[in-house]
Amino acid sequence: MPPRKTAAATTAATPNVSADELKRYYREMLLIRRFEEKAGQLYGMGLIGGFCHLYIGQEAVVVGLEAAASEGDKRVTSYRDHGHMLACGMDPKGVMAELTGREGGYSKGKGGSMHMFSKEKHFYGGHGIVAAQVPIGAGLAFSDKYKGNDRVTFTYFGDGAANQGQVAESYNMAQLWDLPVIFVIENNQYAMGTSVKRATKSPDFWERGVAYGIKGEAVDGMDVLAVKEAGERAVAHCRAGKGPYILEVMTYRYRGHSMSDPAKYRTREEVQEMREKRDAIEHVRQMLLTGGHASEEDLKRIDKEIKDIVNEAAEFSKESPEPDLSELWTDIYADAAPQDA
Ligand SMILES: Cc1ncc(C[n+]2csc(CCOP(=O)(O)OP(=O)(O)O)c2C)c(N)n1
Ligand SMILES: [Mg+2]
């Protein structure tokens, strides 16, 4: 099933970006893909334990939206979070070492795949409870509104999460208080093994905002430029003090829900068709080549650079030691409430 196109789903008609920007998006999407492939391998080798949800197929969503963000903007997401961390500039070594449970990881090896944070990059997790991050995102936006700055919070969640009650409550409060929050619904068509069609009779998730007076739109999430453009509209709306905005980004995940997924809920042909016809990275690759912005050689060079970064991260994640036993007793409670977050 290709991503559902609604009447309002936007695509980027005339790409308005420089060749350098396009190359940057290519690099960033490729970094996520190669990183996730490597994480899948390390998982298979038994070096990563516990839950591990890969982002392969959805790369254009977070890369497009990060291209619309500015320094100081915040982001919070679910357990499918490695791509979000890489896209906002977190160190691949620290992310991979967290996956392998090592000291050099972002949570000193004590959090794992779903529990990483970076104050420096304004990344607020990594949440394993479906939709739990949505009211947190509204709260982060509340803090910015309270402080009177013009920051925006990107709050990512899935199509399954969109059916949760706390999402409706967050919409209501966010609109009531004009909070600068972008609710990003990453509609990858499935919640674990449940397709959207089996979960709801009102599948246009962004339209639910209408009930609260929240503006929104659906966008083609396999087109990084369309995502960026829609992201810019959403950011402008929030920064102008007009309250929240909903972006429903139509995307697709190629791999299983997590590393243990019998994949009985969709056919191999469906996945294959998306990979072959709608792949977001291939789309940008073709734009670069046909537009004469990059040669095959240039792209090979980028591929090699990315491969080296990912291999280095994997090496680091194997060499970094396991956390000391004494770490069991640290980072349990905050010493003091942070004042400058
Ligand atoms: C409150 C809660 N219920 C159930 C689960 C188990 N669970 C984990 S992911 C998931 C599906 C969520 O799907 P979606 O929101 O579409 O996100 P996606 O995995 O597609 O990114 C479920 C039911 C959970 N983690 N938390
Ligand atoms: Mg989903």
Looking at residue 5, its pLDDT comes to 45
Looking at residue 1, its pLDDT comes to 44
Q: Above 80 in pLDDT, residue 183?
A: yes
Residue with the smallest CA separation from ligand 1 atom 5 is 130
Residue with the smallest CA separation from ligand 1 atom 7 is 130
Ligand 2 (ion): which residues have CB within 5 A?
Answer: 158-159, 188, 191
User: What's the 58 CA to ligand 2 centre distance in angstroms?
Assistant: 11
Higher-confidence residue of 93 and 263: namely: 93
Atom of ligand 1 nearest to the CA of 192: 11
Tokens linked to 190: 């499935």
Residue with the smallest CA separation from ligand 1 atom 12 is 191
Given the candidates 3.40.50.970, 3.50.50.60, 3.30.870.10, 3.40.50.300, the CATH classification of the domain at 19-319 is: 3.40.50.970
Question: 59, 166, 192: which to mutate for ligand 1, most atoms within 8 A of CB?
Answer: 192
Looking at residue 8, its pLDDT comes to 45
Between CA 260 and CA 257 the distance in angstroms is 8
Q: What is the pTM of this model?
A: 0.95
User: What's the 79 CA to ligand 1 centre distance in angstroms?
Assistant: 9
The domain locations on the chain are 19-319
Ligand 1 pocket: which residues have CB below 6 Å? 78, 80, 128-130, 158-161, 188, 190-192, 257
Q: Which ligand is nearest to the CA of 55?
A: 1
The set of residues, in sequence order, having a beta carbon less than 8 Å from that of 51 and lying 6+ positions away, is: 79, 112, 113, 114, 128, 258, 259
Residue with the smallest CA separation from ligand 1 atom 8 is 130
* pLDDT band, very low/low/confident/very high, at 11 (cuts 50, 70, 90): low
Residue with the smallest CA separation from ligand 1 atom 6 is 130
The Cβ-side half-sphere exposure at 211, using a 13 Å CA radius, reads: 13
User: What's the 286 CA to ligand 1 centre distance in angstroms?
Assistant: 34
Q: Above 70 in pLDDT, residue 131?
A: yes
- For residue 171, CA distances in Å to 79, 291, 325 come to 21, 42, 43
